[in-house]
Amino acid sequence: MVQNPKSKMAVVLLGAALGALGLAARLPAKETLSESSRIALIRGLSSEIAVSKVTLPRGKHGLYVDSHGKIDEKKAAAEMKDNGAAVRAGMPVEITKITFKPDRLVFEINHGGKSGKKWYQHIEIVGVGTATTTAPDNAPVVTYGSWISLTFPGKVPDVTVDQVKQMLGPVLDFDRHSPTVLYSPSVPPKIKEAIGKHEVLVGMDRDAVLSSKGPPDRKVREVRDGDDQEDWIYGTPPHVLFVTFSGDSVIAVRQY
């Protein structure tokens, strides 16, 4: 019996279609970000302190990173050329806001494009679990915020806080045990070595001290011989460390 070529082709196409349907049935549908996951990301990442491993640009867009941790160098270079740097590599940063877009998560860094003081300058730790705002109004304007957009090829999947941290790993260091300014190529080896040992040296700036010791337990500002100085105090008696700043530089370190 001679088979009609058209009928044969129809059978082939039908078989292929059924095979495709069977394959599709076996493959799970790509899950999109659920409401509970959004809440978890906000709780787990908002106000999270990290360390910038790369220079973050100013401007409206900041840095773009895909889900594999690859930075869009072309966009970053354009932002740097047009607007300059907002945060240098090795600086501690804070995620101040998370915006959910269909294909990306946008993290506001240090309040985004608003100029102002360093994120930590308006906070003084005065006791365990207690903080007050004490920075003077004339504190110098020293940095700007930025943004990091974590992009996905389609819709944002149902990701966890740990997964997002891993994706942002090439850009941000969320391990608070790692010294922050070790990522900056401009930091002298002597300073890097001290930070690795959690020591403070004369000549360090505030970022380096934060990298080495973290935020102080208390701050005291005084005018000494016409010089406006600030003491960062770590610990409680009988073991107390005094770090004295003039401007942004450590001029004295006293351990008791």
Tens-digit pLDDT profile for residues 118-136: 444 443 333 333 333 334 4
How much is the pLDDT for 160?
95
Are 239 and 248 in contact by the 8 Å Cβ rule? The answer is no
Q: For 9-33, what is the mean pLDDT?
A: 48
Query: Residue 174 has what pLDDT?
Result: 83
What residue ranges define each of the domains in the chain, with the CATH number in brackets?
Answer: 30-178 (no CATH), 179-256 (3.30.1450.10)
Tens digits of residue pLDDT in 49-58: 888 888 899 8
Average pLDDT value over all residues in the chain: 77
Predicted pLDDT at 60: 81
Indicate yes or no: pTM above 0.85.
no
Number of neighbouring beta carbons within 10 Å of residue 35? 7
pLDDT band at 182 (very low <50, low <70, confident <90, very high): low
Instruction: Please classify residue 119 by burial: count the beta carbons closer than 10 Å to its beta carbon, then call 0-12 exposed, 13-18 middle and 19+ buried.
Output: buried
Name the token pair of 155. Answer: 């819709």
Lookup: tokens for 104:
């990306």
pLDDT of residue 113: 65
Longest CA span, the chain? 111
Residues 6 or more apart in contact with residue 195 via CB below 8 angstroms: 179, 180, 181, 182, 208, 211, 212
- Phi, psi values for residue 223, rounded to 5°: -100, 115
